[in-house]
């Protein structure tokens, strides 16, 4: 699990249960995307909450989740990215 420590002391991460985030202090959890199927059963990762793209279609949900995480790590979990 990657943690980005910002200049003001706040942390940013893609939520994971690898560590107890409550042990780090007060939490604010916000949705960064939506992973949902369309009417044909194809999966999409919609990163509109972070002004990102709509990724897909994917045949299985797990592929959409992997693409979502990869985009978040490459574009949002960077020191020069805009906060949520």
Question: What is the residue whose two structure tokens read 């509109």?
Answer: 48
10-residue averages of pLDDT along the chain (84 residues): 87 90 90 95 97 97 97 88 54
Closest CA to 32 of 54, 50, 9: 50
pLDDT value at position 65?
Answer: 96
Name, in order, each residue with C-beta under 8 angstroms of 79's C-beta and a sequence gap of 6 or more: 4, 6
Q: Do residues 44 and 35 touch, judged by C-beta distance below 8 A?
A: yes
Burial pattern 68-80, b for ≥16 Cβ within 10 A else e, equals: bbebbeeebbeee
Q: What is the pTM of this model?
A: 0.82
pLDDT value at position 8?
Answer: 87
pLDDT value at position 1?
Answer: 85
């Amino acid at each position: 699990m990657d943690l980005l420590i910002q200049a003001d002391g706040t942390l940013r991460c893609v939520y994971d249960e690898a560590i107890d985030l409550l042990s780090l202090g007060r939490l604010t959890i916000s949705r960064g995307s939506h992973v949902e199927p369309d009417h044909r059963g194809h999966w999409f990762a919609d990163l509109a909450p972070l002004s990102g793209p709509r990724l897909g279609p994917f045949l299985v949900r797990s592929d959409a989740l992997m693409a979502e995480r990869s985009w978040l790590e490459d574009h949002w979990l960077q020191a020069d990215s805009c906060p949520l």
